[in-house]
Amino acid sequence: MNDTIWILVWVVVVGGVFVWLWRAGQLARLTAYVQATREELRKCTWPTWDELKGSTVVISISIILLGGFTVLVDFIFTLLMRQIM
């Protein structure tokens, strides 16, 4: 019985918030925003599958090179710090 009361309380709270947002015009603004966003996304040009694969390869290679550079510089600084101390 206690769980049922909590569920009803939450239904009333969520319903009240929904009605308040509706009367304040926030739901209409959200709807307009979503429609405008969908309209803009239809205007976008999306990459082909081959372009996407090529970009993924370039990014993967870049990440590997930058990661290797970072490890190398860290290793060199560690050796220098050990020599100083």
Task: Quote the pTM value.
Answer: 0.51
pLDDT at 1: 66
Give me the pLDDT at residue 23, please: 86
Q: Which of 12, 10, 9 has its CA nearest to residue 20?
A: 12
CA end-to-end span of the chain: 69
The 3-state DSSP class for residue 13 equals helix
From first to last of the 85 residues of the chain, give the pLDDT tens digit. 688 889 999 999 999 988 888 888 888 888 999 999 999 999 999 899 999 999 999 999 999 999 999 999 999 999 999 998 8
